[in-house]
Amino acid sequence: MALKNFNYNEEDDGVLPPLVTGEEDNLAKILSNLKTDGGVNIVSEEKIKLANKQVDGDDNIDRRIPVTIITGYLGSGKSTLLENIVLKGSDMRIAVILNEFGDSSLIEKSMTIRNRGESYEEWLDLGNGCLCCSLKDVGVKAIEAMVKRAPNSIDYILLETSGIADPVPIAKMFWQDEGLNSNIYIDGIVTVIDSENILSCIDDIAPDAHWHGENVLLEDNITIAHLQIAMADVLILNKIDRVKGPEDAAIKAIEERINGINAAAPIHRAEFGNLELEKILNLHAFGASSVVESHPTFHDPRIHTITLTCRRLRDMNEQLKVEDFLQSLLWKDHGRDTQFKIKRDFEVHRTKALLIVGEEYKVLQGVRDTYDIFPGTEVPGVSCCRFVLIGKYLDQEYFQDLLNTSII
């Protein structure tokens, strides 16, 4: 390959400015041709305008838009929740991304009417501060591109997923894309639960027995409902008005079952998808927030929550030892060599931890085999490291022993 020629070329480099020695007879005339700012702006106005235009059209991100993923089984009330949010309006400019078009959603009907009955894949102004679209490709890049096409028009995005979808892949896509100059970031996962049928969803695992008839069984009697609950940062117990039996006792029994799967997420009761907006927005669930204390009241043998603790870590070397322990759990299916002997098959779906390293507080957030550590803030009354793991076949006593061994 030929080397670049750095010799002066008038065609490429332009006319060379005259050298000024200070002894010229016409010095005053030469200086008068320069800008009055002392010659700071010696680039032509045309080039300055061109550079500004390039910066304006560049991918530099001044403001990143939070995204909340709305998941839940078919019929749980996701669309109703979104309809309520959109139809009520908000001081925030909220954009709703629907998973797909159907015949039941008022939002979708409104959109199809406004777009002459055709699927709409661009933002549609609904007239009350909300934007809406139906996007077949819910990949991060597709959503980023749509945000760019509506500059300064969006404060928040709500993304609906398919009723029988595992929310993990899309959550990881958003999270992993954050460091790549993205204009969006994941704020949290909200799972909407059908109170009337949730016990059937997690107990009736055969397609012919399942109330919707879908093949939702994964393995080891785990269903998509388990995963949607396990991954949630907020759980909405919808349709509580349709629960049969002594109302409060029946609902509490359902809450105990859900808490047994995910004890880290708050549960909010709702009827007809009516819920205060602040309960599902600005969760900062994947950022440097403190780790909540989890107390499961019911133990689901398939997916449940465990809590581990260890003493304050002395230094970065001990933090690396704790990370090695976590990696042995999270990366066991990726050929990860480890000093720890794992005695049975298990899966970790969500990891949260508060690490105290010397005088520093740090927060660890993980989704399956991906995790990150952020700077944290001091939590009053907490003097030791805390770990919350949500997953399948998690042996709390055994994992606690492994954690203790890692920092001996």
The CATH number that applies at residue 400 is: 3.30.1220.10
The answer to whether residues 118 and 188 belong to one domain is: yes
Are 264 and 385 in a shared domain? Answer: no
Q: How far apart are CA 331 and CA 345, in angstroms?
A: 13
Query: Do residue 247 and residue 129 come from a single domain?
Result: yes
- Please check whether residues 140 and 259 belong to one and the same domain: yes
Nearest Cα to Cα of residue 92 among 66, 62, 120? 66
Residue 62 φ/ψ, nearest 5 degrees: -85, -35
User: Sign of torsion, CA 372 376 381 384?
Assistant: positive
Distance CA(309)–CA(237), nearest Å, equals 30
Which conformational region is residue 404 in: left (phi greater than 0), alpha (psi within -120 to 50 degrees), or beta? alpha
Q: Identify the helix (H) or strand (E) that includes residue 392.
A: strand 385-392
Residue 21: alpha-carbon gap to chain centroid: 61
Residue 157 φ then ψ, to 5°: -125, 130
Phi and psi, residue 370, nearest 5°: -115, 135
Based on the domain organization, do 271 and 326 belong to the same domain? no
Residue 48: strand, helix, or coil: helix
Residue 27 lies in a domain: no
Is there a domain that residue 272 lies in? Answer: yes
74 touches 163 (CB < 8 A): yes
Q: Judging by beta carbons within 10 Å of its beta carbon (0-12, 13-18, 19+), is residue 117 exposed, middle or buried? A: exposed
Q: Per-residue confidence of the chain (408 residues) as pLDDT tens digits?
A: 455 455 556 665 555 555 555 566 666 666 565 554 444 444 555 555 554 544 444 444 567 889 999 998 878 888 888 888 877 767 788 888 775 544 334 444 444 333 444 444 455 555 555 556 655 555 677 778 778 877 787 889 888 887 767 788 878 877 666 655 678 888 999 999 999 888 887 875 554 444 444 445 556 677 888 889 999 999 999 999 888 766 688 899 999 999 989 998 999 999 988 999 889 999 888 765 546 555 555 556 678 899 999 999 999 999 999 999 999 888 875 555 556 566 557 889 899 999 999 999 998 988 888 898 988 888 888 889 999 999 988 889 999 999 999 998
Structure tokens, 233:
């940062």
Are residues 307 and 388 in contact, defined by beta-carbon separation less than 8 angstroms? yes
Pairing of strands 360-367, 131-134: unpaired
Q: Is the torsion defined by CA of 40, 46, 49, 51 positive or negative?
A: negative
The conformational region for residue 125 under phi > 0 = left, psi -120 to 50 = alpha, else beta, is beta
Run of H or E including 307: strand 303-310
**Residue 245 included in any domain:** yes
User: Order of strands across the sheet with 370-375?
Assistant: 303-310, 385-392, 347-357, 360-367, 370-375
Looking at the fold, whether 274 and 307 belong to one and the same domain comes out as no
The reply to whether 220 falls in a domain is: yes
Same domain, 371 and 271: no
Cα–Cα distance measured from residue 130 to residue 277, given in angstroms and rounded to the nearest whole number: 14
Taking alpha carbons only, the member of 357, 372, 360 closest to residue 326 is 372
- Same domain, yes or no: 337 and 386: yes
Contact in structure between 375 and 288 (CB atoms under 8 Å): yes
Domain total of the chain = 2
- 262, two tokens: 């995910």
103: containing domain? 65-279
Domain annotation covers residue 154: yes
* Whether the Cβ atoms of residue 184 and residue 178 lie closer than 8 Å to each other: no
Q: Looking only at Cα atoms, what is the longest distance across the chain?
A: 103
Residue 339 within a domain: yes
With vertex at residue 250, the alpha carbon angle to CA 244 and CA 255, rounded to the nearest 5 degrees, is 130
Distance, CA of 72 to CA of 68 (rounded, Å): 13
The string of pLDDT tens digits covering residues 166-216 is 788 878 877 666 655 678 888 999 999 999 888 887 875 554 444 444 445
Same domain, 259 and 348: no
Mean pLDDT of all residues in the chain?
74
- What is the pLDDT, as a whole number, of residue 325? 92
Task: Kindly state whether residues 315 and 265 are assigned to the same domain.
Answer: no
pTM, to two decimals: 0.70
